[in-house]
Structure 1
Amino acid sequence: MLLMARWWSPFVAACRRRYGDVFTLRNTVMGQMVYLADPDDIKTVFAGDPRVFHAGEANSMLGGLLGDSSVLVIDGDAHRERRRLMMSPFHRDAVARQETTMAEIAAENIAGWPVGTPFAVVPKMSEITLEVILRTVIGASDPARLAALRDVMPRLLNVGPWQSMAIAKPHLLERRPWRRLRECMAEADRLLYAEIAERRADPDLASRTDALAMLVQAGADDGTAMSDKQIRDQLITLLVAGHDTTATGLSWALERLTRHPQILAKAVAAADSGDDEYLDAVAKETLRARPVVPDVGRIIKEPVEIAGYRLPAGVMVVPSITLVHSSESVYERPEEFDPDRMVGATLSPTTWLPFGGGNRRCLGAGFAMVEMRVVLREILRRVELATTTEPGEKIRLRHVIFTPRRGARITVRARRDRGDLGVFGHAERDELRPNR
């Protein structure tokens, strides 16, 4: 556990070199974990019977924060039904309607970046992605409540190891050392329940495009609509799963680009010309080379055979994202950052898996990829990034996320004079994307 907490990636990589593509770790917190690094073995897990492979149970330590009805911590029929109700905000058309808002939020934030002074970009990315979630997912519009959510959510989402203990064991919240976390959670709940009540009373509910409005309406026709508590649990889940992860992915993208001048120049040209395909490739290659989440887990409920081994019930099987993404048998020169490998590529769900896979693949994967592309485009079109010859930033494990150790420090050399930028921070769509 200590080795994983400090050196997760190099530790599991060393285990793979010594033991092969399947090995067992005995973790004092997670129990017996069987790591899988072969895409064929991972396919067995992702395509397996959800009644046998329980991802919700593997995520149970998050229940204290997310709630017991969160789509991340439930399994079986309950998970399938909850996931169905949550699909509509993440359909392609629904996500496309949010692009302008994403661009507007990014442009406003970028305008305040310092010029000529190095700064850590992780906090800036967190501000952008939190604002995107608050306005497109929750749909908060009341100024006072929006300000309160901006204040409380970072404090709730950026808890340290000490606070995480109480999330894994909620009874600790009743004790003095965790009182502040309990108060923070209560304040977040108060604000979210107020948003839910406002949405239910909105006479124009059907015309709203935020995810909360869609969740309130979901299942109303067939009698499976969610309660306020269930909607609250999904909102917290979307905040936790969709805020920090996307911000970290964007930060890694900038960290990588500033260390590869030719790729940066190509990305700038793509942003200027509206070449979304190349910006998508940058995002995909970033998530391959620097996956935000190192692995995913499934607790097996009955004995199964995987990778030639008969595994007993109760074991957690762990498809390793980092090991697959860094495998020479899967990617040629995996240590190189090369977005061109992603242009026009058909990616297998067991060889490119930053969002997990199977019936538990991240609901917001499409939303996150669009957000990464839009925010990268706004950054590259608005500021000139300085390149650096410094070594790449090392990885730091924060909770279950791999973040840049120094916060992805960048320098904005100058602001770019772009007369064609429109009201929302981008040129007219017909000019940007003539083939759309």
Structure 2
Amino acid sequence: MPPGPRLPAVVQTLLWAVAPVKFGKACMRRYGSLFTVRILGFGEVVYICAPTGIRRILRDDAGNFDAAAANESIRFVVGGYSLLMADGAAHTSRRKALTRPLHGDNVAAYVEVMVSIAEQEVRRWRAGHRVRLLGSFQRVTLEVMIRAVFGITGSARLSRLRELVPRLLDLDPVIILLPSARRDFGGFGPWAGFQRLLREVDRIIYAEIADRRAQLTADPASAGGDVLSILLGRGQDRENITDTELRDHLVTLLAVGQETTATQLAWFFERVLRAPGALQRVRAAVDGEDWKVLDAAIHEAIRTRPATLDIGRIAVRPWEYGGYLFPAGTMFAVSLGLLHSSSELHPEPEIYSIERFFPAEPPSAHFLPFGGGSHRCLGASLAMVEMRTIISTILRHVRLELAATAPERVMAKGPMLVPRRGAEVVVTENHLLSGATPAGPVRE
């Protein structure tokens, strides 16, 4: 195996769980772009941080690797029919089913709902008050998922999901890393509590599926443009789609999309507000509807402060790279976060600069915000439209200042890398509360 830290596995696991960015960067500085760490629950994990190795795993030699097996630790959340738990033909089929509702006109149709939800949240912000943007964006992105993507509008179900989903996604790392901890212990402990939450969330989702099936059977023309309605419409032509499959698709979208987008939005404002001239440039882009500049600003925020660090893959046959012959069963961490922080690829990587992505973008191999290959994030289009819309809506209505001069430190919260203080800002003006009329919504 490639070299790596000699610390005991328990110490490496602690560093990996508590300070993954610092730990990863320290290893990369000492051992280069190919190194091995030891993580309890996973064993030896080989980190790959160079463009050539990442391209080979995600694209050129993708058939040598199993993405689903690397996600096995979250099967108990997303379910066996999740896109994350599939490879080969099953993955292709499930991805095809989800492509239509998550791209093109369907995503554009969600914009008005996104604007309405963002404005509703902004009305809570009073001039002179401090706001932790991470919490605000978690509420906004959850509401977008429930209303625009799931299509759930019943007040009782909406209200209950608003309460349950944040608790469901706040997973105890112990039950992810240690399967032995997934025991009931007479109804006590983190696993028992998680199971109770999951059962109630599932009950709401299955009730919504049943109601929507009945509605579409009675009136096929009543189908909406949300993901669930589109999948159910597909199911009428394909009788083998099951409620369990639908449930797993919806929970996967929640687990992967909601928290990631909220975290990335929080980091966007934390970074832009600290970069001289960046805020003015982004405001001008929003006013002029120059989405290329806004996208460049979003991408640079993703590069400097990613919401997650790595993508897992497991070799299904021997694979040669970097002078090593890795046996089947080797687990790899494809570290996009470390790739994006490489000083060789991105000079002065800690500095936030929109110019890295505008007018010219870096080579595609140097920046992979949504992964690559056949397993590239299916919700990338939705995430970008959602971030453009929410950022534009906020900048049209409010003026924000930093609550503290020191940059916020990265804190690991499960798989998410969040701002330690929640991207805390001070609201200096709120035109929504003063009656000012903003410009129209962002367009895709």
The two structures have a TM-score, normalised by structure 1, of 0.92
Aligned to 2:27, what secondary structure does the other structure show?
Answer: helix
Say whether the 8 Å CA contact 1:103–1:378 is kept in structure 2.
yes
Residue identity matched to 1:160:
D
Q: Matched residues in 2 for 1:131 and 1:173: separation?
A: 34
Match of 1:71 among 83, 107, 114: 83
**CA displacement at 1:147 relative to structure 2:** 1.1
SS of equivalent residue, structure 1 residue 386: strand
**Which residue pairs with 1:20 in the alignment?**
32
Q: In structure 2, do the counterparts of structure 1 residues 193 and 345 end up closer, same or farther at CA, with 3 Å as the change threshold?
A: farther
**In the alignment, what sits opposite 2:405?**
390
- Verify the 8 A CA contact 2:275 2:353 in the aligned structure 1: no
Please identify, of 104-113 and 342-351, the stretch whose mean Cα deviation from structure 2 is larger: 342-351
User: Matches of 2:316 and 2:103 in 1, distance apart?
Assistant: 32
The percentage of counterpart residues that share the same residue type is: 37
3-state SS in 2 of match to 1:410: strand
For the pair 1:194 / 2:207, whether they are aligned, the reply is yes
Matched-pair contact (CA < 8 Å) for 1:23–1:36: yes
Write the mapping of 1:94-113 to structure 2, written as runs, cut at 5 A. Answer: 94-113=106-125
Q: Name the CA shift for 1:273/1:209 in 2 (closer, same or farther; >3 Å).
A: same
Over residues 12-59 of structure 1, what are the superposed CA-to-partner deviations in whole Å (9 max), with x where a residue is unaligned?
Answer: 111111111111112112222111111011110011455421111101
Determine if contact 1:102/1:371 at 8 Å carries over to the other structure.
yes
User: Structure 1 stretch 233-242 or stretch 24-33: which is displaced more?
Assistant: 24-33
Amino acid at match of 2:158: L
Deviation readout 1:172-231 (Å, 9 max, x if unpaired) = 48742133322111110010001111221222466410011112223654x475210011
Q: Quote the Cα distance in structure 2 between the aligned partners of 1:388 and 1:192.
A: 39
**1:113-155 C-alpha deviation (Å, 9 max, x unpaired):** 1321223211100000000000111000111111111111111
Equivalent pairs, count: 427
Report deviation, 1:348: 4.4
Per the alignment, residue 195 of structure 2 pairs with 182
Distance 1:54 1:348 in 2: 26
Equivalent position to 1:80, from 89, 92, 95: 92
Aligned-partner Cα distance in 1 for 2:385–2:350: 25
Please say which of residues 223-232 and 12-21 is displaced more in the overlay.
223-232
Distance 1:411 1:295, change over 3 A: same
In structure 2, do the counterparts of structure 1 residues 151 and 182 end up closer, same or farther at CA, with 3 Å as the change threshold? same
Which residue is 1:54 aligned to?
66
Deviation at 1:407, TM superposition (A): 0.9
> Per the alignment, in what secondary structure is the counterpart of residue 19 of structure 2?
helix
Change (3 A) 1:5 1:205: farther
Q: What amino acid is aligned across from residue 26 of structure 1 in structure 2? A: R
Note the C-alpha offset of 1:344. Answer: 3.9
2:6 counterpart residue number = none
Distance change in 2, residues 1:97/1:192 (3 Å) = same
Task: Give the whole-Å Cα distance in 1 for the aligned partners of 2:182 and 2:248.
Answer: 15
Question: How do 1:223-238 residues align onto structure 2 when only pairs under 5 Å count?
Answer: 223=238, 225-238=240-253
Amino acid at match of 1:124: S
Give yes or no for contact 2:34–2:47 (8 Å, CA) kept in 1.
yes
2:224 equivalent to 1:212: no
Contact 1:393 1:405 (C-alpha < 8 Å) held by counterparts = yes
- Checking the alignment, whether the CA contact within 8 Å between 1:42 and 1:319 is kept in structure 2 is yes
Aligned to 2:154: 142
CA separation in 2, counterparts of 1:226 and 1:173? 35
Mapped partners of 1:38, 1:162: distance in 2: 30
**Corresponding position: 1:92 with 2:109:** no
The answer on 1:299 being equivalent to 2:314 is: yes
Equivalent residue for 2:46, pick from 20, 34, 37: 34
Q: 2: distance between equivalents of 1:156 and 1:214?
A: 25
**Once structures 1 and 2 are overlaid, which stretch shifts more, 46-55 or 206-215?**
46-55
Counterpart amino acid of residue 218 in structure 1: R
Partner of 2:262: 247
> How far, CA to CA, are the matches of 1:390 and 1:251 in structure 2?
16
Read off the aligned partner of 1:94 and give its amino acid letter. N
Normalized against structure 2, the TM-score is what?
0.90
What are the Cα deviations for residues 256-279 of structure 1, in whole angstroms up to 9, with x where unaligned? 122124111221222223222222
Where in structure 2 are there 5+ consecutive unaligned residues?
1-12
Task: Kindly provide the CA deviation profile for residues 95-125 of structure 1, in whole angstroms up to 9, marking residues without a partner as x.
Answer: 1111111111101111111321223211100
Which residue in 2 is equivalent to 1:400?
415
- The CA RMSD measured in Å over matched residues stands at 2.3
User: Contact 2:268–2:301 at 8 Å: present in 1 too?
Assistant: yes
Looking at structure 1, the residues matched to 370 and 172 of structure 2 have their Cα atoms a distance apart, in angstroms, of 23
Shift of 1:251: 0.3
Return the match for 2:169 from 157, 164, 172. Answer: 157
Q: CA deviation at 1:75?
A: 2.1
| Aligned amino acid, residue 203 of structure 2 | R
Q: Does 1:131 find its partner at 2:143?
A: yes
1:290 aligns with 2:305: yes
> Does 2:395 match 1:380?
yes
**Relative to structure 1, is the Cα distance of residues 389 and 176 closer, same or farther in structure 2, using a 3 angstrom cutoff?**
closer
Q: Contact 2:400 / 2:429 at 8 angstroms: preserved in 1?
A: yes
Residue of structure 1 equivalent to 2:128: 116
* Structure 1 unaligned regions, length at least 5: none
